[in-house]
Structure 1
Amino acid sequence: FTELGAKGLCLHPAKQGFAPDDAVAEPLYELCERYNKPVVFHAGMSWEPGAELSRSNPLAFEHTIATHPNVRFSLTHFGWPWVRETVAMLLKYPNCYTDTSITYIDSPEEMMQRLFTVDMGPLWYERALSHQVMFASNTPRFRAFKLKRALDTVSMRDDARERLYWGNALRFLEGDE
């Protein structure tokens, strides 16, 4: 963090072959806590060979998130297809975040509408989650402009949209409340 100026740590436990709560990872979490740096965990669907889906369920990260309340963690891709498990993690742990870099099967617009109105209740984001969800695109596979355009079609208050597009990411990266 000091020599390279890294903004945080990104881990893909299913691909890298460890459980998030393995003792081998503890020094990394402690380092992130010491330097006030966030941890991004790949969660949900992964196209990577050998990255078993069962190891990417958002609930697999609970023990780590629970035992490190001073570290900000993000579970990527809204944990899709386990969106409601991700929502449960967000509700239970204020140090847990997620992002919108979701795998879309049909179109980005249909996927974002489904995420924000079916997979979650239509007001869940605004009423309970608007401080923990960040815009992300997982480029180059899913283009930022397409996901942004899709999210623009989802009904939400302006303040919630600002947090989604940039405010939450800034707070996640910098650790400021």
Structure 2
Amino acid sequence: MIILIDIHQHPLHIKEIVDQDPALEKYVKDVYGVYSSPHSLASHMYQLDAAGIEKAVIMPIDCTTAHGCKLVTNEQISWLVEKNSRFIGFASVDPKNPNALVELEKSIKEYGLKGLKLDPSLQQFDINNKDYAYPIYQLCCELDIPIFFHCGMSLSPIGQAALAHPLMLEKVIQDFPALKVIIAQFAWPWVSEAFMLGVKYKNVYFDTSILFSGTPSDSVRQVLEQKIGLNNIKRSLAKQIVFGSNSPRVDPKRLVWAVQDLQLNPKLEANIFHDNAAVLLDLDRGYEG
């Protein structure tokens, strides 16, 4: 039985977190564009169980400069990880914050978080800025942690997709060849450009959180099977796709079904659901499934 790892969740509606920060619910609606009601941590774990997910990466988004808020804090992510060992925490920093490097290092070394989440479309920063962005990439290389970039369409009502074009990442990847980069949602609608990056650079990964029209199965099939081609994925990206749901925008089990509906060969499906993420996050060292 495959142990599923979901590499893309935002714990925006966990009641225990909302209770700590009453303004969060408003920011989730106005800034992030999700309108569902809070639910308990126990309910969230039930959702993981229903999808067959054993481990989930949870991540915040620091939008302080752009929107005056944090969509969950690094401290809250750390608290959730302490509450339940099935969570793996990523940090987020505001690249334009002069203390970003200090905050990131503290989050990794003191809070035990395992990666960095950046959303240029929502945080509204220049991926290629050498004054504030490049030092963050350098620190991630030194800390040996991946960066999860939102790329492509932003479902946020105030997100700016032009800031999140995947081709903006190529210079970063060239300048930081040791940097592990995860691109969300195959950067839809710029899927061909994202695919090119994955073929060319083996330190580039993609998650499956593809939803732009219809059901998750419709979107995933259109991108992976029709746009890229399953044979191309098998030949060129077999070790570079990781399962990610982008919960709470999508119920994780619907993304699980979407990947299963592709009827991939067992090895490729295992890579996507577990093996690639386990390698990327170094989970198999001491990993207990």
State the TM-score, normalizing by the size of structure 1: 0.93
The code of the aligned residue for 2:194 comes to T
Q: Superposition RMSD on alpha carbons, in Å? A: 1.6
- Go from structure 1 to structure 2 and tell me whether the alpha carbon gap of 1:49 and 1:109 turns closer, same or farther (over 3 Å shift): closer
Q: State how 1:37-116 maps to structure 2 within 5 Å.
A: 37-116=145-224
Q: Partners in 1 of 2:153 and 2:191 — Cα distance?
A: 11
Deviating runs (4+, > 6 A) in structure 1? none
Which range is displaced more, 48-57 or 64-73? Answer: 48-57
- 1:3 is matched with which residue: 95, 101, 110? 110
Kindly indicate whether the alpha-carbon contact (under 8 Å) linking 2:211 and 2:220 is maintained by their aligned counterparts in 1.
no
Q: How many residues align?
A: 176
Deviation at 1:175, TM superposition (A): 9.0
- 1:159 is matched with which residue: 255, 263, 267? 267
The code of the aligned residue for 1:158 comes to P
Deviation at 1:42, TM superposition (A): 0.6
The secondary structure found in structure 1 opposite 2:182 is strand
Q: Partners in 2 of 1:5 and 1:132 — Cα distance?
A: 25
State the TM-score, normalizing by the size of structure 2: 0.58
Unaligned regions of 5+ residues in structure 2, if any?
Answer: 1-107, 285-289
Partner deviation per Cα, 1:99-154 (whole Å, 9 max, x = no partner): 00011411222222212221112311111111111100000111110010111110
Larger Rg over CA atoms: 2
Kindly indicate whether the alpha-carbon contact (under 8 Å) linking 1:9 and 1:38 is maintained by their aligned counterparts in 2.
yes
Partner deviation per Cα, 1:33-80 (whole Å, 9 max, x = no partner): 111100111101102243222221111111111211111001111101
- Go from structure 1 to structure 2 and tell me whether the alpha carbon gap of 1:140 and 1:91 turns closer, same or farther (over 3 Å shift): same
Unaligned regions of 5+ residues in structure 1, if any?
Answer: none
Q: Partners in 2 of 1:100 and 1:26 — Cα distance?
A: 27
Which range is displaced more, 126-135 or 113-122? Answer: 113-122
